[in-house]
Amino acid sequence: MAGLTMIVAAAPDINSDGMVEWGVRNIIPIVLLVIGIGIIAGARKGQMSQNALTLTNVLLGCGVIAGATVIYAFADSITTFVFQR
């Protein structure tokens, strides 16, 4: 059992903050650009109701991403609140 404890204690500490920041800085704007181009292309074809539905879905998706960001930012506080001793 002591050997297992030493192996677990020697596990690497992974810092993913840089990966999250890179994704926020690079991936999300590209995804929003692609969605925006799709909406503009649809508007050019005269499909306004479909564009309104797409835009609503995009806004709902942004709300979900914002909610996940809030939970990610306050995860330690939320965990401490829920699992009080």
Q: What is the pLDDT of residues 34-60, one digit of tens each?
A: 877 877 777 777 777 887 888 888 888
Query: How many Å apart are CA 50 and CA 57, to the nearest integer?
Result: 11
Integer CA distances (angstroms), 6 to 10, 17, 47, in order: 6, 26, 63
Q: What is the pLDDT of residue 9?
A: 57
Where residue 5 falls among pLDDT bands split at 50, 70, 90? low
Give me the residue spans of the domains in the chain: 22-82
pLDDT value at position 6?
Answer: 57
If you search the block for the tokens 């204690």, which residue do you land on? Answer: 9
Mean pLDDT computed over 25-29: 81
The helix/strand/coil state of 84 is coil
